[in-house]
Chain A
Amino acid sequence: MSLPLAATHPRLSVHLFFPIIVIVLTTCSSAFGQSDTQLDTTVVDDTVSIAAAPVTTLLVEDGKYDDGDSLRLFWVPSIDDQLIDSKVTGYRVYRLVNDGAAEPIVDLLPGVGNYTDKNVELDSSYVYYVATLTESGEYPSIHTESISPQREWINFRRGYLFIIMMIISAAIIFYVETAKRGKKLFVRKIAGLEAIDEAVGRATEMGRPVLFIPGISDMDDVQTLAALTILGRVSRTIADYDSKIFMPVSRSLVMTAARETIKTSYQAAGRPDAYNDDMVNYVTDEQFGYVAAVDGLMVREKPATVFLLGAFFAESLILAETGNSIGAIQIAGTARPAQLPFFIAACDFTLIGEELFAASAYLSGEPRMLGSLKGQDVGKAIAMITILLGVVAVTLSEAWGVGIMTDLHAWLVKVFSSS
């Protein structure tokens, strides 16, 4: 049984929506609310004449939207902290934990006016002061009042992210449901995927094998998973055509997952006896060791069809050109933009970025899967409108100083920086 380990990885899921989240978040939100930040202010009298004035307006506040694991300090640097001929050599932050002894926690450079203490615990109380450092000694500020870090249960800073995620995910689910109800959805033709049957058929006719390379990343890369979903369809066709597949891999987990995928496809095709484990072999994790092995295989075995689908790095062109030199039909696809030009130059068909992820849905022809592709278009529409709005806002505000456009620009920056 192949473990869906890739699916457990955050890359697959971190920015997604799910109905259950709405319930969880709503519950948490109403139960705990947004915690108040604690703010203590201490003002230092800086009129006394000393070798170097201490820092002033020392503030401490709880780190916002965290797990109660940070406190933030702000201060106005010493008036003797000048760019030229400065007496100040730096600042030293002191901390008293639970009314204990003062301990220095960090030395900072001159000119610095803030520090975030991330080494704090929920149940403890903290008092800080900042000493101005000079060659003749330290000049401490007045202490802050005692503060304890607070835990917040909802990160409201990511509110906009949540809304965008909801809209895109809701659109995808909407189209999946629409497709389920039988509505026909138009999905444009993808030449590379249309060619799969023909490519496998060619290998069968020539009596040569099909080579499938799932990239060089592990199962924690969504591209590898996309490659395996295509492998599921391709190996089913191979089993039907009674062709031969071999698949050298560079990750052990990919080996076990790919074996399971091919095995199940052969079973589904009613030919479990034709499957054997040697179809998928582990070679090495080392990038160019793997490339050497695969190139050698290509030259010796001369596969009629080569699939290069998944995450590829600098090896993309070396593999694709070797495949080209042996006259194989090559279908490539990756979501690494830097490698796409190489594939386009050397392969017969290339799945560009999102087409790799759409491949399995496209090949299945299943309405629910196609519906999910349609939902993506809503995301694209949002991206296009936002880009246009942003360009107009920046142009009008910078060229003609239109106030409302400056506000719009600021708002867009806020929305799309809410990480």
Chain B
Amino acid sequence: MAHLGVIISMLVIFGGLAWLLFRSIKGREVERRVIFVFIFVAVAAPILFPITFEEHASPVVKGLFDHIDTLPPGSRVLISFDYDPAMAPEVQPMANAISFHCLDRGHKVVFMSLWATGQTLLFNTLEDVIRPEFPDLIDGVDFISTGYKAGNEGVLNVIVSDFKKMFPTDVNGVPLDSVPIFDEINSCADFDLIVALGGGRPGPKEWVLFVGDPADVPIGVGVAAVVAPQLYPYYPRQIIGMLGGVKGAAEYESELAHRHERFKNMAQPGLKMMGPQTLAHIVIICFIVIGNVAFFRSRRRKGN
């Protein structure tokens, strides 16, 4: 049934595109709304009738994966959820996969957020991944959430030298001085790795500028695809690895599934979303071709 669905939707999409190409040979442009319909079908069809592709981690994704994998168990990792629901479809799969990976390796993880909306998304990761997958881990010993703190870069400027000054308690009001995980953590310099997830401001770039460089802590980032080009200048010296958009999340999930048996049976939203993304990209490429055909035909006509 699923295969039939895939075949029918492909026929509809590519048949339609062939028809538009034929029209473009006559020099006719495509209306905006027609493009929207094709994109809608290209995104919706692989969601309804799942198409998955094999992914291989690129060096930029592997950089972060290998670092987490090779840190000795018990290392301290800080993960910051600096994004909102809009970015969540892209970034939440990364957050879930990285959190799973860190806890599965036995690292001590501190979660925080510089965005008010990030705190709720952080709760989602705790509820959806950590509590069901790691029921034996103890809040305050193996992981902790310090929640959201207002102040943007100001927060980073302080926690780089004194974490508890900005976060005296965890998200539930428990003093950090009384939780074992913070026995050895005074500042950001005491973390073995910081993972900044997000894409806006404050986000990964601010983590690099205000914390990574001054405290000399390795920074890994996971960002929305649209922001990734902006962060390339920092890779690989200031950022050890980067996950860009759904593709980055899919590559990370695929690497995790290859190397950690347990992850194979878990939800892999990044890999699932690669189907719609791939098809949408192909449709966009086809439209660029159609647009150019129409452009050349109309230019030739004008020339004549």
- What is the bound-complex CA distance between A106 and B125, given in angstroms? 29
Contacting residues, chain A, for B227 (C-beta < 8 A)? 338
Report the minimal beta-carbon distance from A383 to chain B, rounded to whole angstroms. Answer: 15
Contacting residues, chain B, for A29 (C-beta < 8 A)? none
Given contacts A118-B162, A337-B230, list 12 more A-B pairs with CB under 8 A. Answer: A70-B161, A105-B186, A106-B186, A109-B75, A110-B72, A118-B161, A119-B162, A286-B84, A287-B84, A288-B86, A314-B224, A337-B229
Leading 9 A-B pairs by shortest Cβ distance: A338-B230, A107-B184, A118-B161, A288-B86, A106-B184, A314-B226, A313-B200, A118-B187, A119-B186
Whether the Cβ atoms of B190 and A106 lie closer than 8 Å is: yes
- List CB contacts (< 8 Å) of A300-317 with chain B: 311, 313-314
Nearest residue in A to B227 (C-beta to C-beta)? A338
Nearest residue in A to B189 (C-beta to C-beta)? A116
Contacting residues, chain B, for A288 (C-beta < 8 A)? 84, 86
Report the minimal beta-carbon distance from B69 to chain A, rounded to whole angstroms. Answer: 16
Nearest residue in A to B71 (C-beta to C-beta)? A109
Whether the Cβ atoms of B230 and A314 lie closer than 8 Å is: no
Q: Which of A69, A311, A314 contacts B86 (CB 8 A)?
A: A314
Contacting residues, chain B, for A105 (C-beta < 8 A)? 186
- List CB contacts (< 8 Å) of A193-217 with chain B: 217
Report the minimal beta-carbon distance from B279 to chain A, rounded to whole angstroms. Answer: 20
Report the minimal beta-carbon distance from A222 to chain B, rounded to whole angstroms. Answer: 12
Q: List 8 A-B contacts (CB under 8 A).
A: A105-B186, A107-B183, A119-B162, A217-B201, A288-B86, A314-B87, A314-B200, A314-B226
**Does B199 make an interface contact (CB < 8 A)?**
yes
**Does A325 make an interface contact (CB < 8 A)?**
yes
Contacting residues, chain A, for B186 (C-beta < 8 A)? 105-106, 118-119
1/0 contact trace for A70-89 toward B, CB 8 Å? Answer: 10000000000000000000
- What is the bound-complex CA distance between A209 and B87, given in angstroms? 33
**Does B192 make an interface contact (CB < 8 A)?**
yes
Q: Which of A116, A217, A338 contacts B229 (CB 8 A)?
A: A338
> How many B residues, CB 8 Å from partner?
24
Whether the Cβ atoms of A419 and B213 lie closer than 8 Å is: yes
Nearest residue in A to B226 (C-beta to C-beta)? A314
Report the minimal beta-carbon distance from A258 to chain B, rounded to whole angstroms. Answer: 20
Report the minimal beta-carbon distance from B182 to chain A, rounded to whole angstroms. Answer: 11
- What is the bound-complex CA distance between A116 and B199, given in angstroms? 31
- List CB contacts (< 8 Å) of B16-75 with chain A: 32, 72, 75
Nearest residue in B to A419 (C-beta to C-beta)? B213
- What is the bound-complex CA distance between A141 and B84, given in angstroms? 49
- List CB contacts (< 8 Å) of A379-393 with chain B: none
Contacting residues, chain B, for A116 (C-beta < 8 A)? 189
- What is the bound-complex CA distance between A217 and B190, given in angstroms? 32
Contacting residues, chain B, for A217 (C-beta < 8 A)? 201
Nearest residue in A to B200 (C-beta to C-beta)? A313
- What is the bound-complex CA distance between A286 and B162, given in angstroms? 30
> How many A residues, CB 8 Å from partner?
22
Whether the Cβ atoms of A118 and B201 lie closer than 8 Å is: no
1/0 contact trace for B190-203 toward A, CB 8 Å? Answer: 10100000011100
Report the minimal beta-carbon distance from A190 to chain B, rounded to whole angstroms. Answer: 24
Contacting residues, chain A, for B229 (C-beta < 8 A)? 337-338
Contacting residues, chain A, for B86 (C-beta < 8 A)? 287-288, 314
1/0 contact trace for A324-335 toward B, CB 8 Å? Answer: 010000000000
Contacting residues, chain A, for B162 (C-beta < 8 A)? 118-119
- List CB contacts (< 8 Å) of A233-264 with chain B: none
Contacting residues, chain B, for A314 (C-beta < 8 A)? 86-87, 199-200, 224, 226
- What is the bound-complex CA distance between A391 and B244, given in angstroms? 29
Nearest residue in A to B203 (C-beta to C-beta)? A313
Report the minimal beta-carbon distance from B117 to chain A, rounded to whole angstroms. Answer: 8
- What is the bound-complex CA distance between A287 and B213, given in angstroms? 29
- List CB contacts (< 8 Å) of B224-256 with chain A: 224, 226-227, 229-230
Report the minimal beta-carbon distance from A394 to chain B, rounded to whole angstroms. Answer: 15
- What is the bound-complex CA distance between A116 and B187, given in angstroms? 10
Known contacts A119-B162, A288-B86, A338-B229; is A109 also within 8 Å of B224 by CB? no
Most A CB within 10 A of own CB, among B162, B200, B226: B226
Nearest residue in B to A285 (C-beta to C-beta)? B116
- What is the bound-complex CA distance between A419 and B190, given in angstroms? 21
Contacting residues, chain A, for B32 (C-beta < 8 A)? 325
Report the minimal beta-carbon distance from B141 to chain A, rounded to whole angstroms. Answer: 15
- What is the bound-complex CA distance between A199 and B84, given in angstroms? 35
Contacting residues, chain A, for B192 (C-beta < 8 A)? 109
Nearest residue in B to A341 (C-beta to C-beta)? B229
1/0 contact trace for B121-161 toward A, CB 8 Å? Answer: 00000000000000000000000000000000000000001
- What is the bound-complex CA distance between A52 and B199, given in angstroms? 47
Contacting residues, chain A, for B230 (C-beta < 8 A)? 336-338
- What is the bound-complex CA distance between A287 and B186, given in angstroms? 34
Nearest residue in A to B187 (C-beta to C-beta)? A118
Report the minimal beta-carbon distance from A226 to chain B, rounded to whole angstroms. Answer: 16
- What is the bound-complex CA distance between A119 and B177, given in angstroms? 14
Nearest residue in A to B117 (C-beta to C-beta)? A286
- What is the bound-complex CA distance between A217 and B32, given in angstroms? 30
Nearest residue in A to B185 (C-beta to C-beta)? A106
- What is the bound-complex CA distance between A288 and B213, given in angstroms? 32
- What is the bound-complex CA distance between A338 and B189, given in angstroms? 30
- List CB contacts (< 8 Å) of A96-121 with chain B: 105-107, 109-110, 116, 118-119
- What is the bound-complex CA distance between A313 and B226, given in angstroms? 9
Report the minimal beta-carbon distance from A8 to chain B, rounded to whole angstroms. Answer: 13
Report the minimal beta-carbon distance from A415 to chain B, rounded to whole angstroms. Answer: 16
Contacting residues, chain B, for A313 (C-beta < 8 A)? 199-201
Report the minimal beta-carbon distance from B193 to chain A, rounded to whole angstroms. Answer: 12
Nearest residue in B to A93 (C-beta to C-beta)? B184
Report the minimal beta-carbon distance from A113 to chain B, rounded to whole angstroms. Answer: 13
- What is the bound-complex CA distance between A116 and B201, given in angstroms? 29
Contacting residues, chain B, for A287 (C-beta < 8 A)? 84, 86, 200
Nearest residue in A to B116 (C-beta to C-beta)? A285
Nearest residue in A to B233 (C-beta to C-beta)? A337
Known contacts A217-B201, A313-B200; is A118 also within 8 Å of B213 by CB? no
- What is the bound-complex CA distance between A116 and B189, given in angstroms? 9
Whether the Cβ atoms of A338 and B72 lie closer than 8 Å is: no
